[in-house]
Structure 1
Amino acid sequence: MPPLGAVRPSPLVEQAAARLRAQITGGEWPVGTRLPGETTLAKELGVGRSTVREALRALAGAGLVRARQGAGVFVVATEPAEDWPTRLRRAAVTDVYEVRMAVEVHAARLAARRRTPEDIEAIEAALEARRAAAARDDAAFIDADIAFHATVVAAAHNPVLADLFREFTPSLRTGLLDLLALTGLRDQDPNAADEAHAALVRAVAEGDAEGAAEILRGELEDPFGPEHG
């Protein structure tokens, strides 16, 4: 194994983690390899044991190594695990849409049960903003459409659902923009699916949980109206 070489100070942990990661991803330490002990690594890297410990923790967080009680730290992968945002950026828009369906349909059901007067005001304002954006370009319309759906999700008052929606919004936006560019779905109806969105507002405002869920399910299955199906 070639010498690792001492790292320069500041930030030591990041530099140490990068050196160790390079050994792993470069094939110097294959999967199953037991890493040298902290004292050995600290000496080779020219850092303290606490720095090595933090660097190994970072590598474990990336899915590259795993500590085994009483046995040491072992390489378990040679490529870092993709985080959630990265995986979403690489996902097919159809896969993202299936996740969107699961998240938003349930969120609509919860929103109808939990909405406050302030939530209804926000949803109605977002609907009007969507209508106003119909006169603008596709990007503005998609942004307004996503903002509308975000207010419905927010009305569910479940922070996990809201976080999930935020995470896949960039991939969803890209996919919808591509769809509009390829098909010109708004050429005949710039304010596509307005009726479905208005019906969703009414269902949430009236506390009709199952009605809201069904309206949203139908809209997401055919997001720009049946005439475009």
Structure 2
Amino acid sequence: MNPVSSLGPLRPSPLVEQATSHLRAQITEGHWSVGTKIPGETTLAKTLGVGRSTVREAVRTLATLGLLQSRQGAGVFVIADHEAEEWPVRLRRAAVADVYEVRMLIEVQAARLAAGRRTDEDLVVLDAALTARRTAGAGADGAFVDADIALHRAVVTAAHNPVLTDLFGEFAPALRQALIDLVELLGLRREDPHHGDAAHQALITAVVAGDAESAARAAQAELEQTLAHLRKA
């Protein structure tokens, strides 16, 4: 089979996305098997009707996805016939307790940083988040978990580290339903609708006071308690 026989000229713009899609199809549909050296930039550019820079960018994208690998002096080779799972997908597939362990590492450091970096605006948000969590205690488990996550997000945001903020944003969706299930399964709010209020108060108090080590300890203690419940569930 001609390795580029199933390719054809592309429509104008967005050319990189189209080129990436066409080259990905060559791999995932078996036209280029694992171990195959793909045609060179010039050949692909001519076949697809685009510039070499467009082909180069498409190849770079597919390399990032784990499908292609450039070998200096040898060319570009197919190294997988399916894409590696994106990070959010991997999180959903991971054991919740494993994800929670990593979340704990993130939040303990975030609490420590937040205590030293929180602004006056952050203090207002943190106070509102704690109040909202308490108010949510009178409602359904889903609303309570959402308010709990919002409080933790406020602490992470107060650390003023965009990488930590983004990481927390990736973990939160993976944990939400699991935490709702955990609350319902173990009946954590049956006797105490405001489950964990004292621990969260201690965390916010330490951050507001600017006590970095107390904030870190409070976050560690609160998250370890939930992790213990997760492991038993």
Does 1:75 find its partner at 2:78? yes
Aligned to 1:24: 27
Whether the aligned pair in 2 keeps the contact of 1:203 and 1:209 (CA below 8 Å) is yes
**In the alignment, which of 2, 5, 8 is matched to residue 7 of structure 2?**
5
Q: Identity of counterpart residues, as a percentage? A: 62
Q: How many residues align?
A: 227
Tell which deviates more after alignment, 125-134 or 155-164.
Answer: 155-164
Instruction: Please state how far the C-alpha of 1:25 moved relative to its aligned partner.
Output: 2.1
Instruction: Please state how far the C-alpha of 1:38 moved relative to its aligned partner.
Output: 2.0
Letter in 2 for 1:160: V
**In the alignment, which of 90, 110, 114 is matched to residue 113 of structure 2?**
110
Q: 2 CA distance for matches of 1:167 and 1:9?
A: 35
**In the alignment, which of 95, 99, 102 is matched to residue 98 of structure 2?**
95
Whether the aligned pair in 2 keeps the contact of 1:115 and 1:204 (CA below 8 Å) is yes
Instruction: Kindly provide the CA deviation profile for residues 5-51 of structure 1, in whole angstroms up to 9, marking residues without a partner as x.
Output: 31441444333322221222233323322111123223444444343
Aligned to 1:211: 214
Aligned to 1:56: 59
Q: 2 CA distance for matches of 1:94 and 1:198?
A: 24
Instruction: Please state how far the C-alpha of 1:225 moved relative to its aligned partner.
Output: 10
Does 1:185 find its partner at 2:160? no
Instruction: Kindly provide the CA deviation profile for residues 127-157 of structure 1, in whole angstroms up to 9, marking residues without a partner as x.
Output: 0010011111111111110111111111112
Tell which deviates more after alignment, 69-78 or 133-142.
Answer: 69-78
Question: TM-score normalised to the size of structure 1?
Answer: 0.89
Whether the aligned pair in 1 keeps the contact of 2:37 and 2:76 (CA below 8 Å) is yes
Whether the aligned pair in 2 keeps the contact of 1:13 and 1:54 (CA below 8 Å) is yes
Gaps spanning 5+ residues in structure 1: where?
none
Aligned to 2:148: 145
Whether the aligned pair in 1 keeps the contact of 2:100 and 2:227 (CA below 8 Å) is no
Q: 2 CA distance for matches of 1:146 and 1:66?
A: 40
Q: 1 CA distance for matches of 2:54 and 2:119?
A: 50
Tell which deviates more after alignment, 68-77 or 101-110.
Answer: 68-77
Gaps spanning 5+ residues in structure 2: where?
none
Q: 2 CA distance for matches of 1:73 and 1:5?
A: 18
